[in-house]
Amino acid sequence: MSREEAPSATLSVRVAPRSSKEGVAGHEGGVVRIRLCAPPVEGEANEALVRFLSKTLGVPRKSVTLLSGERGKSKIVRIAGMTREAVLAALGL
């Protein structure tokens, strides 16, 4: 029995915490830049990133997983249920 896997996308993200407004700041060298209002304190920026991506992409929060970069500005994020092309299109890139 073979089970077909659901699509998932893995993105490299560079976060700019404590920005005046949240949003996608661009895409350069395969890295998506995202501005967040939350400070980089006690995981607040990570939670804000998951919340922002989930709302922007229209997926549940549990579909957005932070794979690496918990303590830095550079992060790797997996979005379950979407292809990379669909994620980039939804982000306007």
CATH number, residue 31: 3.30.1200.10
pLDDT at 3: 52
Q: Into how many domains does the chain fold? A: 1
- Work out the burial of residue 6: count CB atoms within 10 Å of its CB; fewer than 13 is exposed, 13-18 middle, 19 or more buried: exposed
Domain assignment present for 2: no
Range of the domain at 27: 8-90
CA distances in angstroms from 59 to 17, 20, 29, 32, 35, listed in the order given: 22, 25, 25, 18, 19
Looking at the domain assignment, is residue 3 inside a domain?
Answer: no
Q: Tell me the per-residue pLDDT of 36-89, one tens digit each, with 9 for 90 and over.
A: 999 999 999 999 999 999 999 999 999 999 999 999 999 999 999 999 999 999
**Which one-letter amino acid corresponds to residue 67?**
L
pTM for the predicted model, two decimal places: 0.90
Confidence of residue 6 (pLDDT cuts 50, 70, 90): confident
pLDDT at 67: 97
Q: Assess if residue 34 is contained within a domain.
A: yes
Structure confidence at residue 2 as a pLDDT band (50, 70, 90): very low
